[in-house]
Amino acid sequence: MLKLILKLYLASIVLLVPAFAQDRVLNVYNWTDYIDTKLLDEFTRETGIKIVYDTYDSNEMLEAKLLAGNTGYDIVVPSGTFLQRQIQAGVFQPLDMRQIPNAKGIWQEVAARLAVYDPGNKHAVTYMWYTTGLSYNVDKVTQRLGSAPIDSWDIVFKPELIKKIADCGVYFLDSPEDLISVALRYLELNPDSKKPDDIRKAAALIAQVRPYVKKFHSSEYINALANGDICLAIGWAGDTFQARTRAEDAKNGIKINYTIPKEGTLMTFDAFAIPKDAPHVSEAYAFINFMLRPQVAARNSSITNYANGVIDSKPFVEKSVLENPAIYPDDATMARLFTITPYDAATQRIVTREWIRVKTGK
């Protein structure tokens, strides 16, 4: 009898252990088009941790979930200003850096910039950083505007210019923070202004050109540019170069370019963070550590066309990506970039209201 019990006991261990091992899961919530998806399987093969991967394309969407709590997510990727507010709201757990040994390869200048939002780099690790700019179909825009360089926000904020290209399709990011800060810069106001009057002036500038904007959306412009449905977007650099790759792969002859306007633009940092109520914390650490491995970080940059936060990854990044100053800015480009701080609650209410008015055209 005792032997039988022992046998059953041993059998149950044999059966249960692999079952447990297979049960290790990780719930990741990341931006759309923001990873080399092959890495998800490679991570699973290496660690036995299965990934449930969900995507979003706006900080507002992520924030609404985080503030409601119980998202079930183990990894999220907010942008700097949102990260800061969410840290203040107590949404994230402090990181135990001993569980992220690959953090030794972090790019210190980038980490220092992220520390503006996360003092002491206690809650987050930079994933990617990038700019907001003009994404366009070279031939269609040149046909309509002539061969003058496309190098200014004039093209989207001067009604007489955007009017000329409206027929081939214009999208703007559905991201008030990006649009309002660049509009403020264009108006030669402080791009980080929290003054209600300034915010209203920026919103009015965008509202003025609203009739020429087909859609406000923060991810559909990649395919729309790549297949020729639109010819201009206010978009993010990495997404734009992904559109270029898609058009090249489709061999459809569409040439896509990206410009950081001479007036300057917003630079943003997106970072990995672990929600306080994350159900799979050690798996989350394993994932962050994997993503910081230099070769892995490099593959993500080479595929997404975004600069990552790991300096040791640079030798492995595709040359055309590394040497593109719109992705890895040189000093001259860097000098034209600005960053912003989070909106306080009162300003956020104004921004939200103005943004709805801009989008609905009312």
Nearer to ligand N2P, 29 or 130 (CB): 130
Nearer to ligand N2P, 86 or 219 (CB): 219
Q: 169 in the Ramachandran plot: left (φ > 0), alpha (ψ -120 to 50) or beta?
A: left
Q: Are 200 and 208 contacting, i.e. CB atoms less than 8 angstroms apart?
A: no
Q: Which residues of 178-201 are buried (b: 16+ CB within 10 A; e: fewer)?
A: bbbbbbbbbbebebbbbeeebbbb
Q: Establish if 347 lies at the interface with ligand N2P (CB under 6 A).
A: no
Q: Establish if 223 lies at the interface with ligand N2P (CB under 6 A).
A: no
Candidates 31-39, 64-72, 225-233, 278-286 — which segment interacts with ligand N2P by CB under 6 A? 31-39
Instruction: Give, as ranges, the residues between 257 and 316 that touch ligand N2P (CB under 6 A).
Output: 270
Q: Are 340 and 81 contacting, i.e. CB atoms less than 8 angstroms apart?
A: yes
d(CA 87, CA 322): 32
Smallest distance, Å, CB 69 to ligand N2P? 22
Smallest distance, Å, CB 130 to ligand N2P? 6
Q: Are 190 and 340 contacting, i.e. CB atoms less than 8 angstroms apart?
A: no
Candidate residues 118, 239, 283, 354; the one interacting with ligand N2P per rule CB under 6 A:
239
For residue 310, the cross-strand partners are 106
d(CA 32, CA 19): 31
Nearer to ligand N2P, 205 or 237 (CB): 237
Nearer to ligand N2P, 236 or 258 (CB): 236
Q: What is the DSSP string of 187-245?
A: TTS-TT---HHHHHHHHHHHHHHGGG--EE-SSTHHHHHHTTS-SEEEEEHHHHHHHHH
Q: Establish if 63 lies at the interface with ligand N2P (CB under 6 A).
A: no
Smallest distance, Å, CB 349 to ligand N2P? 23
Q: Establish if 129 lies at the interface with ligand N2P (CB under 6 A).
A: no
Candidate residues 71, 79, 86, 305; the one interacting with ligand N2P per rule CB under 6 A:
79
Nearer to ligand N2P, 31 or 241 (CB): 31
Nearer to ligand N2P, 76 or 296 (CB): 76
d(CA 182, CA 190): 10
Which residue's structure tokens are 């990206």?
258
* Longest Cα–Cα distance in the chain: 91
Candidate residues 153, 186, 236, 285; the one interacting with ligand N2P per rule CB under 6 A:
236
* Residues found near ligand N2P in the complex (CB under 6 A): 31-34, 79, 130, 219, 236, 239, 270
